[in-house]
Amino acid sequence: MHAYCSAPWQTGAQKPLEDDVWELYNVNEDFSLVNNLADEYPERVAAMEATFMEEAEKYNVLPIDDRSVERVNPAIAGRPDLLGDRKSLTLYDGMNGILENTFLNSKNTSKSITADVEVDEGATGVILTQGGRFGGWSLYMKDGRPIYTYNFLGLERFTVAADKPIPAGPATIVMDFEYDGDGLGKGGDATITVNGKKVASGRIGRTQPLIFSADETADVGLDNQTPVADGIGVGPEETRFTGTINKVVIAIE
C-alpha cells in the first residue's frame, strides 16, 4: 500500500501541531482521497507523522504557518520584508514592472507620494501607480489636473482630483494619505498639494489590507498592465506621462 498522509490545518492564526488531525489514504486504490484510513492504521500514521516532523525540523519548515492570503503581506505574516525597515523609496521614470513583494509596503499605514515633475499645458498620464483593475492606487494627471485614485478590489474607486489645471512648468506634486489606523483595511483622508498649495482633498473610504495583485506591478510614468483608474487609457502608450518626471519619492510611517 502506498500511503499519503496529510494534516488539514485550519486557516487563520497558527495552530499547535499537537491539535492537528492527521489523515491517511491509499493512493493506489483511492486516488481521489475519499477514504481516510487513519483509524485502521494508527501505527503507520504515527510513523509518518514522526518522519514529517523530523524532516520539517531538519529543513527549517517549522513553525508551520497555515494561513493563506495573510502570508503575502510581510508586516502581517511576521516574516522579513525584502526592503527591510526602509520607510521611503526614491523612483525615477522608466522604473516599471516592480512586483509587489519588491516594492515599499504601503498597506495599512499613512503614506505620501512626492513627485518632482515638469508639466506642459494639459499634461496627462500616470506619475506613479501600483496594482491594476482589480485593486491598487494611482497618482496621475488628466488635462493638466493632478488626481489620486484608490481602487478597492475593482468594486469601488475613491478619487481625489484638482478642480482646475495647474500651470505649465516645474511642479512638486504631493499626495498625502492619512490612514485612520486601529486595524487593517481602514480608510483615510487624502490631500493633494502643488508647490505647497492645496488643490484637492477627499475621503478614501477603505483600503486593501493584504495584497493588490500577484502579477500587476508598480510603475513610474505609465501603467503597464490593466489600469487602476478609469478614463486614462490602457497600456504603456495610452497611460504614459506627457511631462517629465525627475523623481518620485514614496514614504510610509
Range of lowest pLDDT (71-85, 95-109, 206-220):
71-85
Q: Computed from CA positions of residues 231, 237, 239, 240, in that sequence, does the dihedral angle turn out positive or negative?
A: negative
DSSP count for the chain of H helices, then E strands: 3, 13
The domain locations on the chain are: 3-67, 81-252
Name the pTM for this structure: 0.75
Three-state SS at 69: helix
C-alpha cell at 221: 510614468
Question: What are residue 111's DSSP bridge partners?
Answer: 177, 252
State pLDDT tens for residues 148-191. 999 999 999 999 999 999 999 999 999 999 999 989 999 999 99
Lowest-pLDDT range, 11-15, 45-49, 73-77, 237-241? 11-15
For 6-28, the pLDDT digits (tens) are: 554 433 344 445 567 888 999 88
- Is residue 74 within 8 A of residue 84, CB to CB? The reply is no
Which cell numbers hold the place of 242?
A: 506627457
Domain 81-252 has CATH 3.40.50.1370: no
Q: What is the pLDDT of residues 216-229, one digit of tens each?
A: 999 999 999 999 99
* 192: nearest Cα among 206, 209, 210, 178: 178
Position 84: which residue type?
G
